[in-house]
Amino acid sequence: MAEELIITLPDDWHLHLRDGDLLQAVAPHRGTDWVHESALCSSSHFGRAIVMPNLKPPITTTAAAVAYRDSIMKTLPAGSNFSPLMTLYLTDKTSPEEIKLARRSGIVYGVKLYPAGATTNSQDEVTDLFGECLAVLEEMVEQNMPLLVHGEVTDPKIDIFDREKVFIETILQPLIKRLPKLKVVMEHITTKDAADFVESCSEGFVAATVTPQHLLLNRNAIFQGGLQPHNYCLPVLKRETHRQAIVSAVTSGSKRFFLGTDSAPHEKQCKESSCGCAGIYNAPVALSAYTKVFEEAGALDKLEAFTSFNGPDFYGLPRNTSRVKLAKTPWKVPESFSFSFGEIVPMFAGETLDWQPSLV
The SS3 of residue 20 is helix
Cα distances (angstroms) measured from residue 134 to each of 23, 70, 126, 204: 34, 31, 11, 21
CA distance 30 to 319: 25
Distance CA 51, CA 48 (A): 9
Q: What is the DSSP letter of 52?
A: P
Rounded CA-CA distance 200/86 in Å is 28
Cα(121)–Cα(115) distance, rounded to whole angstroms?
11
Q: How far apart are the first and last CA of the chain?
A: 21
Catalytic residue chosen out of the listed positions 11, 12, 16, 165 = 16
Work out the burial of residue 219: count CB atoms within 10 Å of its CB; fewer than 13 is exposed, 13-18 middle, 19 or more buried. Answer: middle
Query: Choosing from 14, 214, 271, 292, which is the catalytic residue?
Result: 14
How far is Cα 31 from Cα 41, in angstroms, rounded to an integer?
9
Given the residues 12, 29, 45, 112, select the one marked as catalytic. Answer: 112
- Catalytic residue (choose from 11, 12, 193, 262): 262
Q: How far is CA 153 from the centre of its chain?
A: 18
DSSP letter assigned to residue 63 = H
188 included as an active-site residue: yes
Burial 86-104, CB ≥16 within 10 A → b, else e? bbbbbbeebeeebbebbbe
Q: Is 150 a catalytic residue?
A: yes
Q: Which residue among the candidates 29, 45, 150, 292 is catalytic per the annotation? A: 150
Identity at 29, one-letter amino acid code: H
Question: DSSP letters along 280-307, please?
Answer: -B-TTTHHHHHHHHHHHTT-GGGHHIII
User: Peptide bond preceding 58: is omega within 30 degrees of 0, i.e. cis?
Assistant: no
Active site residue 14: yes
The yes-or-no answer on residue 36 being catalytic is no
The dihedral of CA 358, 5, 84, 50: what is its sign? negative
- Active site residues per annotation: 14, 16, 112, 150, 188, 262
